[in-house]
Chains A and B, each alone.
Chain A
Amino acid sequence: MDDRPYWPRMAMAFLALGGLINSSYLTIHRLRPTQSAPLVCGVVGNCEAVQASKYSVFPPTNGIPVAYIGFVGFLLLVVLSVLSLQRSQIGRFSLPTINLVLASGGLAFSAYLTAIEAWVLHEWCQWCIISAVVAVLFWALAGFDWWQARRSVDSESLEPANATAV
């Protein structure tokens, strides 16, 4: 068992949970759009426009709604963050590495969606921005945790050498 700090993984779990709650809101709206007509159509902070655009599914036009992708992705990150508090491996894969790889994928996807909002739709949706912020913070923490795990593995591999020396 390595002795790296718990707090990054705990913070990751909370962040991923926040992302999950956020994306579940968008998912519900996606599932029952006829029941939730918007009150206004705005050109600033317009979630309806973003959700109604062809980029709200991935790949664009005929893909899976990004709200669903976010929901599944954040759910996976919650499970993995909690799991990584209990163990450091899944099979032969290191959990911190899995977390960092998935977080990087999530970050890249968020960057793509934010770029669409900024340069294609010229529309902003506060829920998408929250999701992007969560993705950035989660990635930073996953990176830190991965670095800590690597450091403790390095020091563990040094220990036997020290032991024989003593």
Chain B
Amino acid sequence: MSNTPKPRQGRQRVREKRSLLPFYLMLGLVGIVGLTFVFIQALQTPVAPPSASIPIRPVINAAIGQTSEGYWYKGDPNAPIKVIEFADFECPGCRQLEVDLANANFDAEYIETGKVQWIYREFPLRSIHKSAQYTAEVSRCAGDQGVYWPVHMALYDSQLQWTNLDNPNPLILDAAVKAGANLDKLEDCMDAETHTAAINASYDSAKSLGLDQTPTVFINDDRINFVGDFYTDLKLAIDAKLGVTP
């Protein structure tokens, strides 16, 4: 009598184990497929490492200036294509846009040939980037000294050196000075909060347009959806507007 429960228990165990087999197989399959997918996703399309510096053109052979609203532009104001970029100097995506365009020599192809007027509107995402407002104001102060675009590029180029630092401002000013700005004038301009209201207004206008991310780019009022690298997407959109068939 005392022996009878044992084989029954043993058989039950085997049955239980067998009934769990499909579960183990399923779990293993989901795990392998899921982790493989994640690895492929994460390791695919490695973009150029952000440590790469931006090849900056020393001079832009095109009209530069400020729109009636105060936004800096490069390129002929009468160009058939008007590109408006809403961006933040501390946004890595915006930096990537500058890297992609500079590497592809976008300015030589579109700005200096009179095809495109590029207007830069500051949209400092202050809630996530603590130097966004400061850098935007530094760029405007540099503009007062006639070195807006060199400093604009230098701020993006140096972004990785000062972003997320506890005390980023000296490095930001240093980058601007290396790009040709005068430090004393820059500090005076920043201390006087000369452009604070303008940058705030720029931020508010981007918000009022319902924008929530940077870079956001409009080509003749049509918003671009970036899917690949910035240069390719921009080139396709601009060429389509220009009536150029690829």
Contacts and interface: CB of A to CB of B under 8 A. Distances in A.
Given A21-B38, A38-B93, A123 B128 contact: yes
Contacts of A14: 27, 30
Contacts of A21: 31, 34-35, 37-38
Contacts of B38: 21, 24-25, 28
Contacts of B129: 41
B175 interface: no
Contact of A52 (B41, B88, B164): B164
Interface residues on B, range: 35 or more
Contacts of B226: 39-40
A17 B39 contact: no
Contacts of A42: 212-214
A41 B47 contact: no
Interface string A18-37: 10110011001100101111
Interface residues on A, range: 35 or more
B213 A44 contact: yes
B49 A35 contact: yes
Determine chain A's interface SS by DSSP, over half rule.
Answer: helix
A24 B50 CA distance: 23
Given A24-B38, A122-B127, A123-B128, A37 B213 contact: no
A5 B219 CA distance: 60
Contacts of B42: 25, 28-29, 32, 36
Contacts of A10: 23
A46 B243 CA distance: 36
Nearest to A42: B213
B46 interface: yes
Contacts of B34: 17-18, 21
A37 B96 contact: yes
Interface string B26-65: 0100110011011101110011011100000000000000
30 contacts: A14-B30, A17-B27, A17-B34, A18-B34, A20-B31, A21-B37, A24-B39, A25-B38, A28-B42, A34-B49, A34-B51, A35-B43, A35-B49, A36-B47, A37-B92, A37-B96, A38-B93, A40-B93, A40-B214, A40-B215, A41-B88, A41-B94, A41-B214, A43-B127, A44-B212, A46-B128, A46-B213, A52-B128, A53-B128, A82-B27
Interface of A: 6, 10, 13-14, 17-18, 20-21, 24-25, 28-29, 32, 34-44, 46, 48-49, 52-53, 78, 82, 85, 121-123
The 7 closest A-B pairs by CB, nearest first: A42-B213, A41-B91, A49-B128, A21-B34, A28-B42, A35-B46, A40-B93
